[in-house]
Amino acid sequence: MSEKRCAATRKGYNWKGSEAILPSILHEQLFLEAMEVTTERTLLMVKPDGVRRSLLGLIIARIEQKGLVISNMRMFRMDDAFARTFYAEHDGRDYFPALLSFMTSGPVVALQVESPNAIVLVRTAIGATRPEDRLPGTIRADFSTQLTENVVHASASPTDAERELALVFGDSHTTLGAVHE
């Protein structure tokens, strides 16, 4: 019995006929499981300028076209306390007050994105923070010319992702589905 069949049988799938009848997504999932590739979760946040400019649909489309899964979504407005906690690593920098003012200026949309290598894939899709370093075709290059008002934020590491997802979604970041307020 092939490794795919063994993995699928362990998952409770019955084999009747050809392996070709399995949807391609199942083949990919079984391959990733057999290779012990784990899914990462990361946060992608559309900032107030992106929401104000109605870019949410375009940004979601880019993430989904890349094959990444959006497993949780929340629209909310940051208050000063939340913004200070979320961006605590920037506290004390000269741009911190402007960052807080900007991030509390309107609603944001937080997306929990899942995929193998999600953090690197999302950060590559959004592009560099500094305008002069942005590659054409990235979200920031296509939709922003500024340093702070740069449309999106994405977690930089697995540690950052878990901290930011917990702040934004609480315990619901471990399950699929939208958070409703």
Query: What does the pLDDT average to over 31-52?
Result: 85
Query: What does the pLDDT average to over 117-138?
Result: 95
Closest CA to 130 of 143, 140, 120: 140
Mean of the per-residue pLDDT values of the chain: 84
Kindly tell me if the per-residue pLDDT of 175 is higher than 70.
no
Kindly tell me if the per-residue pLDDT of 15 is higher than 50.
no
Give the pLDDT confidence of 150-171 residue by residue, as tens digits.
999 999 999 999 999 999 999 7
What is the reported pLDDT for 170?
Answer: 92
Kindly tell me if the per-residue pLDDT of 5 is higher than 90.
no
Give the pLDDT confidence of 85-112 residue by residue, as tens digits.
999 999 999 999 999 999 999 999 999 9
Kindly tell me if the per-residue pLDDT of 29 is higher than 50.
yes
Q: Would you say 116 and 109 are in contact if contact means Cβ atoms under 8 Å apart?
A: no
The CB density around residue 63, as the number of other CB atoms within 10 Å, is: 21
| Terminal CA-CA length for the chain | 49
Q: Sketch out the chain's domains with CATH numbers.
A: 3-34 (no CATH), 40-174 (3.30.70.141)
What is the residue type of 103? M
Kindly tell me if the per-residue pLDDT of 21 is higher than 90.
no
Closest CA to 44 of 156, 132, 148, 142: 156
Query: What does the pLDDT average to over 27-56?
Result: 83
Q: Would you say 164 and 64 are in contact if contact means Cβ atoms under 8 Å apart?
A: no
pLDDT top residue among 179 and 25: 25
Closest CA to 59 of 132, 3, 113: 113
Kindly tell me if the per-residue pLDDT of 78 is higher than 80.
yes
Distance CA 52, CA 108 (A): 9
| The pair of three-digit structure tokens given for residue 72, joined into one six-digit string | 């949780």
Contacts of 127 (CB under 8 A, 6+ apart): 134, 135, 138, 139, 140, 141
| The pair of three-digit structure tokens given for residue 2, joined into one six-digit string | 């092939």
Active-site residue numbers? Answer: 153
Q: Is 18 left (phi over 0), alpha (psi -120 to 50) or beta?
A: beta
Query: What DSSP designation does 129 have?
Result: S
pTM equals 0.76
Q: State percent of the chain over pLDDT 90.
A: 70
What is the reported pLDDT for 110?
Answer: 98
